[in-house]
Amino acid sequence: MSGLLDRATALTYASWFRALADPTRVQIVEYLARQGRPMSVGELVAAVGLAQSTVSQHLKILAEVRFVLVESVGTARHYRVNDACVGCFPSAADVVMGRPAPSPNGAC
C-alpha cells in the first residue's frame, strides 16, 4: 500500500471539488461543454435563469480553478470550458478508491 496523496495535489483536487460543489456551477460547466463555444455572461444568465451578478460570481470561482477560461471580446467577456482540464480532472471515485489519479500539473 502506498502513502498518502501528496499535500499539494490533495489541495489542488480539493479546490476542484469545491468549485463543483454547487449545482449551479455544475450546470454552467456542463452547459458550456455542451455548447462547445465561448459564451457571454448574458447567454449564460438566460440559460441558468439567475441574476447576472450570481452567474458572474459562479464564473469567477470556476475561472479561479481554470475549469473555464475567460476571453475578452471587445468590452465583453466570454467564457468557455478549458478542455485541457477535462482530461486531468480526477473523478471522486478514482481518488477515493485509490486508483492512480492524473497529475494536476501542467495545463490545469
DSSP 13-31: HHHHHHHTSSHHHHHHHHH
Handedness of CA 51, 70, 60, 21 (dihedral sign): positive
Locate the domains of the chain by residue range. Answer: 7-93
pLDDT tens sequence across 22-60: 999 999 999 999 999 999 999 999 999 999 999 999 999
pLDDT tens sequence across 4-14: 778 887 888 88
DSSP strand pairing (39-40 vs 68-73): unpaired
Q: What global pTM score does this model have?
A: 0.81
Kindly indicate the confidence band of residue 1, based on its pLDDT and cuts at 50, 70 and 90: very low
The percent of residues above 70 in pLDDT, for the chain, comes to 80
**What phi and psi, each to the nearest 5 degrees, are found at residue 67?**
-70, -30
CATH class of 7-93: mainly alpha
Over residues 72-84, mean pLDDT: 92
